[in-house]
A and B are shown apart, each in its own frame.
Chain A
Amino acid sequence: MMEKVNLDGAVVNRIRFKLNGREKNLDVASHENLVDLLVRLDHFSARESCGQGLCGCCTVLVDEIPVSACLTLAQLVDGSEVKTAEGLAPPGELDFVQRAFIEEGAFQCGFCTPGFVMMTHALLKETVDPSETEIREYLAGNLCRCAAYPEIIRAVKTAARNRPERTEKP
């Protein structure tokens, strides 16, 4: 990481990281958070809503760990691999978690949905067949004001059933 000062007088650092599998190499200002950086790179699925890391709308995976992008300083992802909802499947395609959310109708306005989808990925990586209690505990940090929670619980179960490594087995 190299530190310098840009034209506006802000301290900037050059960082390198992977975003959905692609190398990025750019300057970020010291005050920029990860949502700002993603927006700058035309990635809009992580959304700043509460700005306090309490709603989960900005959840992304950094080295496979779910984080609140609004509380993550952009320069801290230097050397990391960042994954957002846009990167789960090639454009025009959907992965098994996204398909499960559609199948179960697990969203209304859709603003919080990418956060829930990313959290579901993290959960299913840790737990093969989460129980309803485990799902509720794991997703307790994500808010959905439309309250599509019953449908989200069903979607997580459906996704667990349909995960590729399970369905591809003979």
Chain B
Amino acid sequence: MNVRADTANRQVGRSVPRLEGPEKVSGRASYVHNMSVPGMLYAKVVRSTVAHGRILSIDASGAFEISGVEHVFTGSDVQKIVPDPYFGPAFHDQPVLAIDKVHFVGEPVAVVLARDPYVAAEAAQQIWVDYEELPAVFDEVEAMKPDVVVHDELKPAGTFPDLKHLIGRRNTNIALDYHLKRGDPERAFAQAAHVFEHEFRSQQVMHVPLEPMVALAVVSHDTMTIHTASQSPSFVRTEIARLLGWSENRVKVKVPFLGGGFGAKLYIKLEALVACAALLARAPVKLMLTMEEQFYTITKHASTFRIRSGVNSEGRLIARHCEVLWNGGAFADIGPRVTQKSGFTAPGPYDIDNVSIDSYALYTNRPPAGALRGFGIPQLVWAYESHTDMIAHELGVDPLAFRRKNILKGDRPQATGTSMKDAAVEGVLERIAERMDWSGKAHREPSGPGKRIGRGLAIGFKASIAPTTSVAIVTVSADGSTILQLSTVDMGQGSNTAMAQIVADIVGVATEDVKVVTPDTDVTPYDMATLGSRSTFHMGHAVRLAAEDVRAKLADMAKSVGESLATTERIGDLFKKKYGMQAGNAVGVGTYIPEYKSPDPETGQSDKITPFWMIGGTGVELEVDTETGKYRILRMINAADLGTPLNPKIVESQLSGAAMMQLGFTMFEEMRFDGGQVTNASLADYKIPGIQDVPQTMENEIVEAHQHNGPFGAKGVGESATFGVSPAIANALFDAAGVRITSLPITPEAVFHAIRAQEEGAG
């Protein structure tokens, strides 16, 4: 544990096993799920049974007939302590508990508190709410018209300058309209030899973290501690302080490990409700959602994407128009960011001079949608990579050859005008082609009559979320041991381990000897959030800077006692010399925010839209049974460009995990609705991938592409392998059976119907 001038074995690039491994395999790792405090009350939420309606009355008398019920609170109780109790990252549209109106089936209307969770659950069933039902809108295409309006007035949060023009807007469901224009698309379409137009739809799905969302608020005299399974402790603190009118230092947010996040536990979710309930009850309050309730809390946007492309006589893409409608559900959450930050990549990784994009975030009377592993990108890639294959087939060109001809090469700028520097678009495409032996003729034989083999590929790309800030602190104690404080949340992606590797490399210790302090906003400094694969890059830089800072301070300390850090055997000796005993600290701080330029409001153009790009692609070989529509993935290749991987083994695990998650969203996951009511909100009816769904062969390919501005040349990786999965499967099904599926999920039924329709059409 000694600081040395140089260390023989580099820590970065080592496949260090996760630091928290022993705690996790022994079942002793700490999750909010397991947490309790003396005097704690359990909360159970009473939820709206109608999709859109006015609350006429709430009768809670039945609840109090159940022994053990301590409190029942409604929206009007919340208003006693928070006069304007609306929250959210982009819009202040989400009430802590419903006020006057409900906007979707499952919206929290009241909360019951009891010492026994079973008592709270039973009492919640005895609260009767009368509604005047209003017409509802569920479909994003219908929501474009103002026939049914979900919110009377738009209330942007003010944190985003590009939402300011929406303040006070009425009679609309459009929470953000984002536009981009490059070149002269109208003229280019007029000149095109071929024009292709297709529409694609994706379904609403849910993150399904196995640790259901949970938060626990503990109130002291004039401070509050919130233990929460959150990906964004700093944001929770800011938002709770804003709601209560408190200074931030009166709110402490603590986050241990998360039992999965995937975007579900971002920004602010249950925290406002437990904070208000705890203040009203003057007792600690814990809210643990059931698996069912998670489906009413946050989901992934359903989408409709109309894409039109113009191709010249040489087979070059010369024009593209993208219209994307995002079904945001009843509360905007981070949907407007998805609409913009993902929207600008809608034309795909292709070199097209004339592009226009119209991307709309829409309110509907469905459960809210937000960020889910890929932040809108998988929905876009689904459309543009299916579309790319369809164009190639209609032109009679090999899909790979068509991509090679049109792909963004070298440092060429993407639709926003930002260069694709350090993005291995070509590298990822070529790696997949090579692994699949695309040009080779050696196809597999089908396993029986009626079975057909097909293969497909797809690639996509994503920007990082900019501009966002990360801060880290590295402390060296007087015995030379090292502590890293950061607010990045380790939800399974291995950030604690990777960040410790950076510290270890710079300070000159073994990774295993770096103690990582998990988020506690009183102790760990600000971080925007753990999202969008931003931590490796942003927090990685902050940690690097903090480690370099502490090293510089140790060098100064050595100098001040007449030593040199380079020749100091034991760092503890420096402290002894300096302070006369084992005392004192060296503290290093690092703050990082990347360069960013806001896009032009008219054209969406910016040459610094993101500090780095992430490229991901998938190749699939499958066998489909033309009698039943059932298909099996025989081989799946996931490739992503990764800068330089900090921890190759963890990176590979991220690639296969992301691809498997998207496999579920492609093959079977779908929230089904009846009148706005989710009808399959449980694992009995909503299937997620299990071990039997892992393809026979799954290969993960790291395409190394040094990120010149990344910490140790690294960049984010958590989402990249999701991008290409859905269209690669659709493209392979077309190759196998000649049918084109344009709506997710691609169930055997959908394939069966498509095959039958094709046969009838032919007959």
Q: Interface on A for B, CB 8 Å cutoff?
A: 8-9, 31, 39, 43-47, 49-52, 54-55, 57, 84-86, 88-89, 94, 98-99, 101-103, 105, 107-114, 117, 135-137, 139-153
Contacts and interface: CB of A to CB of B under 8 A. Distances in A.
B688 A86 contact: no
B26 interface: yes
Interface stretch (B13-21, B269-277, B363-371, B730-738): B13-21
A111 B22 contact: no
Given A51-B291, A52-B684, A147 B27 contact: no
Nearest to A86: B27
B26 to A, nearest CB: 6
Given A54-B683, A109-B211, A98 B689 contact: no
Chain B contact residues: helix, strand, loop or mixed = loop
B21 A109 contact: no
Contacts of B26: 45, 85-86, 88-89, 94, 98, 114
A142 B688 contact: no
A53 B682 CA distance: 11
Nearest to A9: B67
B560 interface: no
A84 B28 CA distance: 11
Interface in B1-56: 15, 17-18, 20-29, 31, 33-34
Contacts of A152: 691
Contact of B683 (A43, A50, A85, A89): A50
Given A49-B291, A108-B492, A143-B210, A54 B684 contact: yes
Most buried by B among A43, A47, A141: A47
Given A86-B28, A145-B208, A105 B650 contact: yes
Chain A contact residues: helix, strand, loop or mixed = loop
Contact of B691 (A84, A98, A108, A136): A136
14 contacts: A39-B34, A44-B27, A49-B211, A88-B26, A98-B22, A105-B18, A107-B24, A107-B492, A110-B492, A111-B209, A114-B26, A114-B27, A146-B657, A150-B694
Interface residues of B, number: 55
Contacts of A143: 210, 683, 688, 690
B596 interface: no
A84 B690 contact: no
Given A55-B683, A85-B26, A147-B694, 5 more contacts: A49-B210, A110-B492, A145-B262, A147-B657, A150-B698
Nearest to B490: A109
B661 A145 contact: yes
Contact of A145 (B20, B67, B688, B691): B688
B700 to A, nearest CB: 9
B445 to A, nearest CB: 22
B68 interface: yes
Given A45-B26, A109-B491, A145-B262, A52 B691 contact: no
Contacts of A113: 24-25, 27
Interface string B600-623: 000000000000000000000000
Contacts of B649: 105
Nearest to B34: A44
Contacts of A142: 690-691
Contacts of B28: 44-45, 86
Contacts of A84: 27
Contacts of A49: 210-212, 259, 291
B132 interface: no
B683 A52 contact: yes
A43 B26 CA distance: 11
B17 A153 contact: no
B300 to A, nearest CB: 14
Contacts of A112: 210, 259
A108 B650 CA distance: 9
A145 B33 contact: no
- Pairs of residues from A and B, 9 with the lowest C-beta to C-beta distance, nearest first: A45-B27, A111-B259, A109-B492, A110-B24, A108-B492, A147-B660, A85-B27, A114-B27, A98-B25
Most buried by A among B20, B33, B118, B690: B690
Contacts of B650: 105
A144 B653 CA distance: 13
B725 to A, nearest CB: 12
Nearest to B25: A98
Contacts of B684: 50, 52, 54
Nearest to B661: A147
A108 B24 CA distance: 9
B660 A149 contact: yes
Nearest to A155: B25
Nearest to B28: A86
Contact of A151 (B23, B257, B653, B689): B653
A135 B691 CA distance: 9
Nearest to B30: A44
Given A45-B28, A50-B682, A57 B653 contact: no
B345 interface: no
